[in-house]
Amino acid sequence: MVIIYILLILLAAFPLGLTIWRMRRAAFIKKTGIHTNGYATSIRTVRIKSSLTDVVSIEYKDRATGLPYPGKATTEAGKFRVGDTIGVVYLPANPAKYAIADTRGGFTAMLIFCIILFLFVLFAVYKINGMVQRGEM
């Protein structure tokens, strides 16, 4: 039964760890990367539940080589138009790894959700274990 408990906790910890890893990667890129301007090449509007969201395709150039690199960003609907300038930060050693420069709190909602999910699973495992020990299951 302990193996099942561990698997449940690891299953809940995976999205939390992934979110923290993505937050740290974006922060590292913003701290050590090269700032440049990208341009919105296309915009696709999608509906998520009752709100509209734009998926913006971006193209930015490596300052050292001048080679163009593609990127994507998710924003609120109508924030950008095709041809608008978007701040991009990329790693000099690997220009394909980028972050959007002017984002704040993009991971906050996901981090809160993952923490709540993780805490719920911990509580559920605790309660299930108590029921098993009392012979109720």
Cα distance between residue 127 and residue 132, in whole Å: 9
**pLDDT the model gives residue 89:** 95
The answer to whether the beta carbons of residues 55 and 77 sit under 8 Å apart is no
Amino acid at 108: T
- Write the pLDDT tens digit of every residue in 79-126: 899 999 999 999 999 999 999 988 776 788 899 999 999 999 999 999
pLDDT at 1: 85
CB 80 within 8 A of CB 63: no
The helix/strand/coil state of 40 is strand
Mean of the pLDDT values across residues 122-131? Answer: 95
Please write the tens of the pLDDT for every residue from 44-74.
Answer: 999 988 889 999 999 999 998 999 999 999 8
- Tell the residue number behind the tokens 């906050």, with chain if given: 108
Question: Is the model more confident about 50 or about 24?
Answer: 24
